[in-house]
């Protein structure tokens, strides 16, 4: 069975739980407490030298890191990744946008709030908020005329961007200023097989 090295509060890991659920693929999940340094222990480093979850492991021992690369691989040949070359390109464009221009701001500020780190990062906070709001504004402009991010239908680009956008308020981002984003969040949450970030999906197993 597929095994996901996971962390329930991580939006990057949630992307994988969501797609696996929508694909109907059974999986084991290992909860890796990233706050306790577990990803820097030798047994995890042997699996991912970059010290990050999510990490997906196949029964034959193959492993894949990087949430959006995992989405890409699981989605190839399914309705979650367009067949059309240009729509695939747009899908990738939004997924790289998510990792470079969105996640480092919206996810990071949320993590500061969740882990009591806002105070010690107060000097960096305004720039993080400004960049996060810039990302939300780029999304808003796109969603004013498009229902989804690529190919006019739900795809892994939407999953990638939904993961941290739908909990952006937990980092102090006010989504009321982005009504088209709000409507899109509802469309994503209404997709068949949708699960929420804290939903108990997969089979929890202990490790190591």
Binding site for a second copy (CB under 8 A): 49-50, 52, 62, 64-70, 72-73, 76, 85-86, 88-90, 92-93, 95-97, 99-101, 103-104, 137-138, 141-142
Q: Rounded to whole angstroms, how far apart are CA atoms 60 and 200?
A: 25
Pick between residue 101 and residue 191 the one whose CB is nearest to a second copy.
Answer: 101
Pick between residue 136 and residue 168 the one whose CB is nearest to a second copy.
Answer: 136
Q: What is the 3-state secondary structure (H, E, C) of 101-115?
A: HHHHHHHHHHHHHHC
Q: Rounded to whole angstroms, how far apart are CA atoms 96 and 98?
A: 5
- Provide the minimum distance between the beta carbon of 36 and a second copy in the complex, in angstroms, as a whole number: 19
Pick between residue 38 and residue 68 the one whose CB is nearest to a second copy.
Answer: 68
Q: Rounded to whole angstroms, how far apart are CA atoms 133 and 203?
A: 36
Pick between residue 122 and residue 137 the one whose CB is nearest to a second copy.
Answer: 137
- Provide the minimum distance between the beta carbon of 141 and a second copy in the complex, in angstroms, as a whole number: 5
**Paired residues of 31 in beta bridges:** 6
- Provide the minimum distance between the beta carbon of 166 and a second copy in the complex, in angstroms, as a whole number: 20
Backbone φ/ψ region at 12: left (φ over 0), alpha (ψ -120 to 50), beta: alpha
- Provide the minimum distance between the beta carbon of 206 and a second copy in the complex, in angstroms, as a whole number: 26
Q: How many CA atoms lie within 13 A of 126 on its CB side?
A: 1
């Amino acid at each position: 069975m597929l095994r996901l090295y996971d962390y329930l509060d991580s939006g990057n890991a949630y992307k994988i739980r969501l797609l696996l659920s929508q694909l109907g693929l059974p999986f084991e999940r290992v909860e890796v407490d990233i706050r306790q340094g577990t990803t820097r222990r030798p047994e995890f480093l042997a699996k991912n030298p970059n010290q990050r979850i999510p990490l997906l492991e196949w029964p034959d021992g193959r492993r894949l890191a990087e949430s959006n690369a995992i989405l890409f691989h699981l989605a190839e040949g399914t309705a979650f990744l367009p067949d059309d070359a240009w729509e695939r390109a747009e899908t990738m464009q939004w997924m790289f946008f998510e990792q470079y221009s969105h996640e480092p701001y919206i996810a990071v500020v949320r993590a500061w709030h969740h882990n009591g780190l806002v105070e010690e990062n107060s000097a960096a906070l305004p720039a993080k908020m400004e960049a996060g709001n810039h990302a939300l504004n780029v999304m808003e402009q796109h969603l004013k005329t498009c229902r989804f991010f690529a190919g006019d239908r739900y795809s892994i680009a939407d999953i990638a961007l939904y993961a941290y956008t739908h909990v952006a308020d937990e980092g102090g981002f006010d989504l009321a200023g982005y009504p088209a984003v709000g409507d899109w969040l509802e469309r994503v949450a209404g997709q068949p097989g949708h699960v929420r970030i804290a939903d108990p999906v997969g089979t929890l197993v202990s490790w190591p």
